[in-house]
Amino acid sequence: MIGGLTVALVTPVTDTGEVSEADTARLVASVRPYADALLPALSTGEGAVLTDRQWRAVVSATVRHADGLPVFAGILRPTTAEVAVRARAAEELGAAAVVATTPYGPGVSQEEMVRHYADLTSATTLPVVVYHESAVSGNTCEAATLLRICALPGIAAVKDSAGDARATRELIAADPGVPVLQGLEHLLLECGPLAGCVVALGNVEPALCAALLSDPSDTHTARLGEARARYGLDRDDWYLALKTELHRRGVLQTARAVFEPPPGERLPAPQTDKEVPR
In a domain, residue 167? The reply is yes
Average pLDDT over residues 85-94: 98
Question: Can you give the pLDDT at residue 264?
Answer: 56
In a domain, residue 73? The reply is yes
Question: Can you give the pLDDT at residue 277?
Answer: 56
According to DSSP H, which parts of 134-260 are helical?
A: 143-150, 165-173, 206-214, 218-230, 238-249
DSSP 22-58: HHHHHHHHHHTTT-SEEE-SSTTTTGGG--HHHHHHH
Q: What is the mean pLDDT of the chain?
A: 93
Distance CA(202)–CA(273), nearest Å, equals 13
In a domain, residue 275? The reply is no
Q: If you ran DSSP here, which 8-state letter would residue 103 be given?
A: P
254 CB-near residues (< 8 Å, 6+ apart):
12, 13, 14, 15, 243, 247
Lowest-confidence region among 45-49, 245-249, 260-264: 260-264
pLDDT, tens digit, 9 for 90 and up, residues 216-233: 777 778 889 899 999 999
CB atoms within 10 A of CB 260: 12
CB atoms within 10 A of CB 266: 6
In total, how many domains does the chain have? Answer: 1
Distance CA(123)–CA(84), nearest Å, equals 6
Distance CA(190)–CA(121), nearest Å, equals 31
Helix 218-230 with 206-214: angle, nearest 10 deg = 150
Q: If you ran DSSP here, which 8-state letter would residue 228 be given?
A: H
Distance CA(86)–CA(9), nearest Å, equals 18
In a domain, residue 268? The reply is no
Distance CA(93)–CA(236), nearest Å, equals 31
pTM of the model: 0.93
In a domain, residue 241? The reply is yes
CATH number at residue 29: 3.20.20.70
pLDDT, tens digit, 9 for 90 and up, residues 135-193: 999 999 999 999 999 999 999 999 999 999 999 999 999 999 999 999 999 898 899 89
User: Does residue 273 carry a pLDDT above 60?
Assistant: no
Range of the domain at 77: 4-249
Distance CA(195)–CA(104), nearest Å, equals 27
Give the length of the chain.
278
In a domain, residue 266? The reply is no
In a domain, residue 272? The reply is no
Question: Can you give the pLDDT at residue 215?
Answer: 81
Work out the percent of the chain whose per-residue pLDDT is above 90: 85
Q: If you ran DSSP here, which 8-state letter would residue 183 be given?
A: -
In a domain, residue 265? The reply is no
Strand pairing partners for 8? 39
Distance CA(15)–CA(248), nearest Å, equals 16
